[in-house]
Amino acid sequence: MGFTTRNSHTSVMMNEVLENLHLKKGDCVLDCTLGLGGHARQIAKKIGSHGLLIGIDRDEDSLMLAKENLEEFSGRCAFIQKDFRHLDDVLDDLGIKQVDGVVLDLGVSSYQLETAERGFSIKADGPLDMRMDRKSYISAYDLINSLSFNEISSILKNFGEERFHERIADQLVRQRIKHPIESTEELKSIILKAIPGRHQQYKIHPATRTFQAFRIAVNRELEALDIALNKAVRYLKKDGYICSIAFHSLEDRIIKEKFRYFAKENIVEIVTKKPLRPTDQETHENIRARSARLRVAKRIA
């Protein structure tokens, strides 16, 4: 059985995360991607009433829902709306010098994906938004309707590893001359027009890579991850563990390379030589878990 929170998101690799955090009563844990509080709930139970769970999320709506879901643990939780790239400011403001564990469970939650008006989903029609923080200035609409052919093409290539990046960028630039591209449905149909039919037979929807690429660009996700990993390790106590779950190869590569660098500097020991993957049972029960890869490192100095 998965761990599903109200409203709703099934946390991935819960048992593996809990096992690898090695928590004890009274620990202080930083959850950089609180989401709806699924991992946080189980962590809050483990650290007990003298522990502290600091939950960060950039998404105000998710944070509100997490607060409700974690109401019974509110005395041991701090909820902060922030981009996790600023985790140092969060900890400094709380007067916390070190934490016993860090969790990063990247990407978007099922709740965000399934809320059509957020514009993350290929499945439901919605506006081209894709901002995790709805107060941030740039949405997918802005990128799609104002960047140059070269800029769009390089976003699709670098953040989506999309083979047909030029064809899709070309179609987008042509279509938007007629009228601005406004909805996820329009974006999807333009992508389908751009990708040759014989390449549309894959298991994943042909628009998946383009949606991923624009989402990463809108939220500057890879840059945030790189910055946050540097800071998180700095605040991790000796013998504390960091667990990072990636959902695509670009994120996973950043985590792998960062951990290797910290290991070379004798700051951490890499616990997972290869990333841990969800069990067959978990992927069977929760399709989102299919691409999850968990990497763990332990601070040794």
Q: Which residues bind ligand SAM (CB under 6 A)?
A: 5, 9, 11, 33, 35-39, 56-59, 62, 83-85, 105, 107-109, 132, 224
Question: With respect to ligand SAM, which residue has the nearer C-beta, 9 or 165?
Answer: 9
Question: With respect to ligand SAM, which residue has the nearer C-beta, 8 or 183?
Answer: 8
The two three-digit tokens of residue 104, written as one number: 């990063």
**Residue least distant from ligand SAM (Cβ):** 35
The Cα–Cα gap between 129 and 121 comes to 10
Question: Could you tell me the smallest distance in angstroms from the CB atom of residue 84 to ligand SAM?
Answer: 4
Cα torsion 243, 244, 247, 250: sign: negative
Question: With respect to ligand SAM, which residue has the nearer C-beta, 52 or 104?
Answer: 104
Question: Could you tell me the smallest distance in angstroms from the CB atom of residue 15 to ligand SAM?
Answer: 13
Question: Could you tell me the smallest distance in angstroms from the CB atom of residue 77 to ligand SAM?
Answer: 13
Question: With respect to ligand SAM, which residue has the nearer C-beta, 37 or 206?
Answer: 37
Question: With respect to ligand SAM, which residue has the nearer C-beta, 36 or 128?
Answer: 36
Question: Could you tell me the smallest distance in angstroms from the CB atom of residue 53 to ligand SAM?
Answer: 12
β-pair type (52-57, 3-5): unpaired
The Cα–Cα gap between 28 and 103 comes to 12
The Cα–Cα gap between 208 and 189 comes to 12
The Cα–Cα gap between 46 and 64 comes to 22
Question: With respect to ligand SAM, which residue has the nearer C-beta, 124 or 192?
Answer: 124
- Coil/strand/helix, residue 236: strand
The residue type of 159 is F
Question: Could you tell me the smallest distance in angstroms from the CB atom of residue 74 to ligand SAM?
Answer: 16
Question: Could you tell me the smallest distance in angstroms from the CB atom of residue 37 to ligand SAM?
Answer: 5
The Cα–Cα gap between 246 and 236 comes to 20
Question: Could you tell me the smallest distance in angstroms from the CB atom of residue 14 to ligand SAM?
Answer: 8
Question: With respect to ligand SAM, which residue has the nearer C-beta, 186 or 252?
Answer: 252
What percent of the chain is helix, strand and coil (3-state, nearest 5)? 50, 15, 30
Q: In this structure, are residues 10 and 3 in contact, taking their beta carbons and an 8 Å threshold? A: yes
DSSP strand E in 58-209: where? 77-81, 99-105
Q: Which residue has 């005395």 as its token pair?
A: 75
Question: With respect to ligand SAM, which residue has the nearer C-beta, 145 or 283?
Answer: 283
Question: Could you tell me the smallest distance in angstroms from the CB atom of residue 171 to ligand SAM?
Answer: 29
- Coil/strand/helix, residue 112: helix
Beta-carbon contacts of residue 44 (< 8 Å; ≥ 6 apart): 51, 53, 70, 73, 76, 77
